[in-house]
Structure 1
Amino acid sequence: MIELEGLTKRYGETLAVNNLTFTVEPGVVTGFLGPNGAGKSTTMRLVLGLDHPTSGDVRIDGRHYDRLRNPLTSIGALLDAKAVHGGRSAFHHLLCLAQSNGIPSARVHEVLDTVGLTAVARKKAKGFSLGMAQRLGIAGALLGEPRILMFDEPANGLDPEGIHWIRTLMKSLAAQGRTVFVSSHLMSEMALTADHLVVIGQGRLLADTSMADFIERNARSYVRIRSPQRERLLDLLHGAGVTVVESGGGVLEADGGKAELIGELAARHQVVLHELSTRHASLEEAFMRLTAESVEYHAHSGTPLGTWTRRAARQEWGGGRRKGA
């Protein structure tokens, strides 16, 4: 498992990680979510000893990363798919990692096969697409058969088959009892992959809970209803204590999971229904609602390109021509 306790990191005046305390447990896929600039990548770097905390502590199965004798056999990670020497082949990149961590060279062939790169094993990494580089990075993470795996945007650059593959891989690793910690901005994928969520904003912990609980707490589920006998149905629903809002176009929305109650009520009073459907809240909706106050970079829809360009130019050039231009 990965344990963070009061983890804090400052870069000058910037507080990138703010007193984070949570545990990433084995046996489940834990999703790590947050807006851009929330501190996710910094947190992962701190876990791997690539940066040092200002205060607090982070341990990997009870030990600091720099105390691990052969770290790839304890924790495997993919943080940057392009962090590979471009002049090395996929095989020699992995062989170098294996030899530095006491891993048998036969394991290199196994992980290349696992990620589907056997056919290009002798090709130089500089010619790899982003998707191929992602697969190579995942192979490096799997190389030491570690009990803990950490991935930052693992689906980035992968085609639909590759996305399905990495999703299945992470679930199978968790099913083996391994700790799987994955950061991603793809909410649809995270909803299909993660069992547990850790959400941060502006470096602070916002949520540490199961996927189902997170959605239930932070988004709205409702029953959508359409009927040609709308006014009669409204009277019946109000009389039964069902809270209903009108959303336009003759559509009614009833909060909560009351589809069965509404259907039985309509049938009992012979009210015709043209639609009765339960609409479940999405992870994206719940995430947007929770992190609304933590978003650092806001885009504004509807701004004409020309208007944006002129405004950006004024900000960039200080309202006039920059000296030396």
Structure 2
Amino acid sequence: MIELEGLTKRYGEKVAVNNLSFTVRPGIVTGFLGPNGAGKSTTMRMILGLDHPTAGDVRIDGKHYQQLKDPLTYIGALLEAKAWHGGRTAYNHLLCLAQSNGIPRSRVREVLETVGLTAVAKKKTKGFSMGMGQRLGIAAALLGDPRILMFDEPVNGLDPEGIHWIRTLMKSLAAQGRTVFVSSHLMSEMALTADHLVVIGQGRLLADTSMADFIARNSRSYVRVRSPQRERLLDVLHQAGLVAVESGDGVLEVDGGKAEHVGELAAQHGITLHELSPQQASLEEAFMRLTAESVEYHAHSETSPEPPGQRWGDGWKRG
């Protein structure tokens, strides 16, 4: 378990993390989201003792990182994929980490096999591709068989097979009862991986909730319906107290109702439907809506009439 309480980090007048409190619990994958400059990387560095907080506290299983004996056996982390000496082989890089943390030599070969690097174990890491580097970084995180794992942008440089593999790995680790904390700017991947979300903006906590709750609270859901008897359907929906708006091509968007209810109303009144489908915003759309006011850097088209920040997607990029 990772516990943050009032965590704050200032760099001069710049407040990178502002009174941040949340708990990352075992047994689920917790996603960590935020716009560029939100303070995600700084928060992760403070968890690992790489940066010292200006105020507040962060504990790993009840202890500060500095209090952990053989820390790789408590928490494994991938923050910077190329955090190794290029002149060392993959095997020797992991062996050095193992020896400094009281981890058996046999574990090195185990994690190399887990991440698919056995064939290049004796190759120097300076020749590794970005994807191979990610796999080596993940191997280092797994080396101590820790109860807590933390990954920053774990899918960078991975091919589709690799992305599927790391997604499955994180879910498997959580299913074993481990604490899994992952930051990523790929919303589609996060939607497939995370069970719970922690979202920050400008260093402040914006959301700490389940994936389903986050999307439901920060997006519009409606029922899309199309019928050759559109006017009659509009009357029936209005009489039932449902709000329907036309969106073109004969399509109605019904707010405040479920698809089942709309379908039953149509059937009761003998109305033919050509389309009936519930619509739910994606994680990306919900994220953009929640963080629209927290984006630090905005970009906008020279031909666009909207000022910066008026459109959800403006300037959002990796943080």
Q: What is the TM-score with the length of structure 2 in the denominator?
A: 0.93
Name the structure 2 match of 1:301. Answer: 301
Structure 2 residue 80 is the aligned partner of structure 1 residue 98? no
Quote the residue 2:317 is aligned against. Answer: none
* Residues 242 and 256 in structure 2, CA contact (< 8 A), matched pair in contact too: no
Q: Deviations over 1:27-64 (max 9, x none)?
A: 11000000011000000000000010001000000000
For residues 117 and 256 of structure 2, the distance between their equivalents in structure 1, rounded to whole angstroms, comes to 48
- SS of 2:265's partner is helix
State the partner residue of 2:126. Answer: 126
- Separation (CA, whole Å) in 1 of partners of 2:195 and 2:265: 36
Cα distance in 2 for partners of 1:156, 1:297 equals 22
**How far apart in 1 are the matches of 2:14 and 2:191?**
31
* Alpha-carbon distance in structure 1 between the residues aligned to 2:302 and 2:160: 31
8 Å Cα contact 1:227-1:275 kept in structure 2: yes
Q: Given the alignment of the two structures, is residue 204 of structure 1 paired with residue 204 of structure 2, yes or no?
A: yes
Deviation readout 1:78-101 (Å, 9 max, x if unpaired)? 001011111111001000000010
1:236 aligns with 2:236: yes
Listed one character per residue, the Cα deviations across residues 225-262 of structure 1 (whole Å, up to 9, x for unaligned) are: 11111111101110111111111222110124521111
1:175 maps to amino acid: A
Who is 1:142 aligned against? 142
Structure 2 match to 1:317: none
- Match in the other structure for 1:49: 49
CA contact (8 A) 2:242 2:257 kept: no
Q: Which amino acid aligns with 2:228?
A: P
**Whole-angstrom distance in 1 between the partners of 2:35 and 2:151:** 17
Partner of 1:221: 221
SS in 1 for 2:247: strand
Once the 2 structures are TM-superposed, how far is the Cα of residue 266 of structure 1 from its aligned partner? Answer: 1.3
Structure 1: distance between partners of 2:150 and 2:212: 22
**Aligned residue type for 1:27:** G
> Residue 20 of structure 1: SS of its match in structure 2?
strand
Letter in 2 for 1:234: L
What's 1:64 paired with? 64
Work out the CA distance in 2 between the residues paired with 1:264 and 1:212. 26
Rounded Cα–Cα distance in structure 1 between residues aligned with 2:154 and 2:223: 35
2:281 equivalent in structure 1: 281
Which residues of structure 1 form unaligned runs of 5+?
A: 305-325
| SS of corresponding position for 1:263 | helix
**2:69 alignment partner AA:** R
- Cα distance in 1 for partners of 2:173, 2:271 equals 51
Q: CA 1:114/1:253 → structure 2, altered by over 3 Å: closer, same or farther?
A: same
Match of 2:316 in 1: none
Q: CA deviation at 1:114?
A: 0.1
1:302, distance to aligned residue in structure 2 (A): 5.6
Tell me how many residue pairs correspond in the alignment. 304
Q: Distance in 2 between matches of 1:187 and 1:61?
A: 29
Query: Following superposition, which runs of at least 4 residues in structure 1 exceed 4 angstroms of deviation?
Result: none
Is contact 1:9-1:15 (8 Å) kept?
A: yes
1:301, distance to aligned residue in structure 2 (A): 3.4
Structure 2 Cα separation of the partners of residues 257 and 126 of structure 1 = 57
Question: How many Å apart are 1:144 and its aligned residue?
Answer: 0.2
Task: Report the 3-state secondary structure (helix = DSSP H, G, I; strand = E; otherwise coil) of the residue aligned with 2:145.
Answer: coil
SS at match of 1:27: coil
Q: Where does residue 258 of structure 1 map in the other structure?
A: 258
Q: Please report the RMSD computed on the Cα atoms of aligned residues, expressed in angstroms.
A: 1.1
Which blocks of at least 5 consecutive residues in structure 2 are unaligned? 305-319
DSSP-derived class of the 2:253 partner: strand
Amino acid at match of 1:229: Q
Contact 2:221 2:255 in 1 (8 A): yes
Compare CA radii of gyration and give the structure with the larger one. Answer: 1
Question: 1:110 — aligned with what?
Answer: 110
1:100-156: CA deviation from partner (whole Å, max 9, x where unpaired): 101011000000000000000111111111111000000000000001000000011
Which residue of structure 1 lines up, in the alignment, with residue 38 of structure 2?
Answer: 38
Q: Hey, what's the Cα distance between the residues in 2 that align with 1:257 and 1:85? A: 59
Kindly state the Cα deviation for residue 285 of structure 1 after the two structures are TM-superposed. Answer: 1.1
For the residue of structure 2 that corresponds to 1:41, the secondary structure is helix
How many Å separate the matches in 1 of 2:290 and 2:42?
21
Rounded to whole Å, the distance in 2 between the matches of 1:107 and 1:19 is 39
Identity percentage of aligned residues: 83
Q: Which residue of 1 aligns with 2:26?
A: 26
Tell me the residue number matched to 1:88.
88
Match of 1:152 in 2: 152
Once residues 264 and 178 of structure 1 are traced to their aligned partners in structure 2, the CA distance between those partners, rounded to angstroms, is: 45
TM (norm. structure 1) is: 0.92
1:161 equivalent in structure 2? 161
2 CA distance for matches of 1:286 and 1:104?
A: 45
Separation in 2, partners of 1:209, 1:290? 13
